[in-house]
Amino acid sequence: MTPYSQRLVTIDATFRCPLECPKCFRQTLRSNNMKIPGDDMTIEQFNKLVNYFARIDICGQVSDPIFNPNFIDFLKICKEKNKKISIHTAASQKPESWWKQAFESNLDAHWIFGIDGLPHESFLYRINQDGEKLFKMMQLAKKCGVKYVIWQYIIFSYNENHIEEANKLAKDNDIIFELNYSGRWQKEKEHDMYKPIDSSKRLISKHDR
């Protein structure tokens, strides 16, 4: 049996997301006229998980967790019960007052922000994202006292030459910079506008072999 301290669960806490990232499974479902699966996790359901797992990773595959109406309560529960929580988010459609409340409700939470490229260009993949606003929310997190603020940057063709600049921007703001290499490319013969030109900046996908 897995020791308690190593028990980790990764969840989708809702079915909502206002972004339209082209390679997200949401778009596959949508193009096939299928409903996004799932529902908003309740506080009762979340408590059940927290009572069993030592660490909760809210890394949605088809949703952004901040749109669960109970999300700030989830942060507070983890704080009260001394549980680790990581949040992956990319949506910018919440007011600054909401972000402040979320950060202050659990300063130990790990926040991972998906901003692919420099803040002014991230919307090229993260469709509907205001990257500049989200970057300001990362700065706000640091100002509030959140220890782990991580900038996750997936390398695409439009941002592959901006990595150093982004890394410096992160350092200047005491933000952890994390590069992600994607392998979700179309077949070699098909045009994929997001595929980095520099092959060292992409994972080999099955179509590249």
Q: Does 90 bind ligand SF4 (CB under 6 A)?
A: yes
Nearer to ligand SF4, 13 or 62 (CB): 62
Contact between 21 and ligand SF4 by CB under 6 A: the answer reads: yes
Stretch of residues binding ligand SF4 (CB under 6 A), selected from 17-25, 66-74, 141-149, 174-182: 17-25
Proportion of the chain in helix, strand, coil states, percent, rounded to 5: 35, 15, 50
| Smaller CB separation from ligand SF4, 20 or 178 | 20
Can residue 24 be called a binding residue for ligand SF4 (CB under 6 A)?
Answer: yes
- Please, what is the angle between helix 96-105 and helix 131-144, to 10°? 40
Residue selected from 62, 66, 112, 155 as contacting ligand SF4 according to rule CB under 6 A: 62
Q: Are 51 and 96 in contact (CB under 8 A)?
A: no
Residue 107's H or E segment, with its range, is: none
- Asked if residue 7 lies in contact with residue 53, where contact means CB atoms within 8 angstroms, the answer is yes
Contacts of 205 (CB under 8 A, 6+ apart): 183, 184, 185
Among 11, 13, 19, 66, binds ligand SF4 (CB under 6 A): 19
Residues interacting with ligand SF4, by CB under 6 A?
17, 19-21, 24, 26, 60, 62-64, 90
